Amino acid sequence: MSTYDHDSIRAVQWTGTHLRLLDQRLLPQRCVHVDLDSATEAAGAIRNMVVRGAPAIGVAAAYAAVLAGRAAWREAGPDWRRAMEPALQALADSRPTAVNLFWALGHMRQVMDGLPAEADPEPALLAAAQGIHEADVAGNRRMGDLGAALIPPGQDVLTHCNAGSLATAGYGTALGVIRSAFAQGRIGHVYADETRPWLQGSRLTAWELVQDDIPVTLLCEGAAAGLMRQGRVGWVVVGADRIAANGDTANKVGTYGLAVLARHHGVGFMVVAPTSTIDADAANGSAIPIEQRGEEEVLELAGQRVAAEGAGAWNPAFDVTPAELIDAIVTEKGVVEHPGGRGVTSLLD
């Protein structure tokens, strides 16, 4: 039995005075934390993947708004609301696809709107950020139970990217379901795509599962078709960065291909995400902005060019899985089975 406590992995923390992030770019070789005292630094950390994963980005942005409020109060006193704007804008510009970022900033703005100009906004902003943080962990536990119940005992699962403690405030979304299903004896083994080009699967998901003593086998995503053909997995379980009103779901690039393969092979396809990932303003997946990242992420490995000189690269960080390929969307407010045709907005009522 492992003595390792996955809740002790804290991608995002508040030290009492600063935002502390676990630098995920250095895992699993090194576990290094960075302390940030400005929202502009936090925006850079989000853009550069120090912190990544939709819910973790949202929690980090909420704490960054606290730092912005502190700086604005010191600089501008009662004019703090106006003085916060550049920092809030820098956060909103950091990454485009994970809607949890915009959800968290919207929540912080609502709190700001209710505050008097004459008082330091930091205590109220901090309470709001801590509320977002705590609710995320509780929501993940709930999703773990709801999602695990869909997996019949005796089936193994495949996951993609990292939707674990590192991508959230703790426990994880897709990995939360996998943790709960393993604890209940429903699954015995996890297959994890290595997830090019950032290798969130091999660096982060495998690291989390190994520490939890959950057996994990990595594969290149190109091997997933063969894995399914051999009948080795009953479910694909993934997280999400943005879910449109009709259930179309943006997640790490490669997810859409897995959904097509799963349908072809009769394998279940489950999306696990908090309701803060639902974007009711996006009618369908075509309204979801997809982040394009630099060519060098594909052309290089560990800073060394591996691709033929002269070749270019197309590097969308996410793709959209149509709702009709999804068997279940699991949220902390309940499950929508077969969202194709009816969408997910009933979860927001």
By beta-carbon proximity to ligand MRU, the closer residue of 170 and 268 is 170
Residue 22: alpha-carbon gap to chain centroid = 15
We find the least distance from the C-beta atom of residue 329 to ligand MRU, in angstroms, to be 13
CA distance between the termini of the chain: 42
By beta-carbon proximity to ligand MRU, the closer residue of 99 and 228 is 99
We find the least distance from the C-beta atom of residue 3 to ligand MRU, in angstroms, to be 25
Active site includes 213?
no
Q: 196-235 mask for ligand MRU (x: CB under 6 A)?
A: ----x-----------------------------------
Cβ neighbors of 340 (< 8 A, separation 6 or more) are 246, 247, 322, 323, 324, 325, 326
We find the least distance from the C-beta atom of residue 239 to ligand MRU, in angstroms, to be 3
* Listed residue (198, 125, 200, 131) closest to 165, CA to CA: 200
Q: Per CB under 6 A, does 251 bind ligand MRU? A: yes
| 342 known member of a binding site | no
| 333 known member of a binding site | no
Q: Helix H segments across the chain?
A: 39-47, 54-76, 80-92, 99-113, 122-148, 174-183, 200, 206-211, 224-229, 255-265, 296-299
The Cα 71–Cα 77 span in angstroms is: 10
The Cα 322–Cα 329 span in angstroms is: 12
> Which helix (DSSP H) or strand (DSSP E) does residue 269 occupy?
strand 268-272
| 252 known member of a binding site | yes
Q: 299-338 mask for ligand MRU (x: CB under 6 A)?
A: ------------------x---------------------
Which amino acid is located at 108 in the chain? M
Q: Which stretch binds ligand MRU (CB under 6 A): 7-15, 60-68, 160-168, 259-267?
A: 160-168
Q: What is the DSSP letter of 308?
A: P
**Residue least distant from ligand MRU (Cβ):** 239
Q: Per CB under 6 A, does 22 bind ligand MRU? A: no
Rg (CA), the chain: 20
Among the options 241, 248, 319, 327, which is catalytic? 241
- Residues with catalytic roles: 241
Q: Output the known binding site.
A: 52-54, 95, 200, 251-252
Interface residues toward ligand MRU, by CB under 6 A:
52-55, 98, 161, 163, 167-168, 173, 200, 239-241, 251-252, 317
Q: Output the known binding site for substrate.
A: 52-54, 95, 200, 251-252
